[in-house]
Amino acid sequence: MSAKIIKGSAELGLKIRTRRNELGLTIEDAASRAGVGTKTWSRYEAGESIRRDKILPVCKTLNWHVLPGQEETVHEDNNIDEYRTSSLWSQALADCCGEAAAVSFVIGSDILLDNITQDLESLSRRPKGTHIGELELSWLKDSLPAQFLMQYDYDFLCYLKATLIRYREQAADGDLFVAHTVAEELTLYLIMEESEFLMESILPDLEQDETDSEECYFDAANWADWPFDLFDDMDIVTFLYSGHYLDKDHPYHFDHWQEAQFYIR
């Protein structure tokens, strides 16, 4: 099992402090964005250890993919067998789209669930109707389609979270994912997107596993295509992430995200 902390150092503490200052953040700002107390953040900058469950919030606060000096540690901790034995492992997805897709789901669904939960907690402290664009820090703002930013309120995030939890339950039950709505397509797409930065360190091990097996079909360059393989198109990107303005009659307009419009898988 992985260690529960990353050992700190004076060098790492200095890099954290320097990066915070580069971003123009006070200790209070950085601590709030990372979801820790100011004393805890000050300990990070003093070179003390960082709990593993706090590494991702710290990195996001500082716009880092990983903590400086931890690149090799991240790679060593990514034991492929741990993903294969996860309760979220979808063998149906692995059979359909490859093991990289199943690993991506395990990683991305955890991160996306954390991000939704944190935005929900922030919205719960604001007046009814507040959307994520009004939050000082939103983990989802830059991930969701920009045209409909003001629609992403507490109620919508609850719906998104319920959709994600249903997919996690389907993975545990061994079922292949089905999408009838834009919101369901979007959820699977976001899972893949959230997994991307960790997948980069895992791909070499997956590729080696496939090379060592009798059947070698692994394609590292196309691992992220698995949502589009399920959808059999790239409409989610074409319409929601390519700068198109969608009127209310368009099937990918926010007003239709929860409507059953199509059948996928």
Q: Which two tokens stand for residue 174?
A: 């061994």
Q: Is the pTM of this model over 0.85?
A: no
- Give 240-265 pLDDT, tens digit per residue: 999 999 999 999 999 999 999 886 55
What is the sign, positive or negative, of the torsion defined by CA atoms of 140, 146, 152, 157?
negative
Confidence of residue 124 (pLDDT cuts 50, 70, 90): very high
Confidence of residue 3 (pLDDT cuts 50, 70, 90): very low
Q: How many residues does the chain have?
A: 265
In contact, 199 and 104? CB cutoff 8 Å: yes
Listed by start position, the domains of the chain span 5-70, 80-256
* HSE of 41, CA atoms in CB hemisphere, 13 A: 23
Residue with tokens 């034991």: 79
- What was the pLDDT predicted at 208? 60
In this model, does residue 230 exceed pLDDT 80?
Answer: yes
- What was the pLDDT predicted at 90? 94
- What was the pLDDT predicted at 150? 97
Domain 5-70 fold: 434 Repressor (Amino-terminal Domain) (1.10.260)
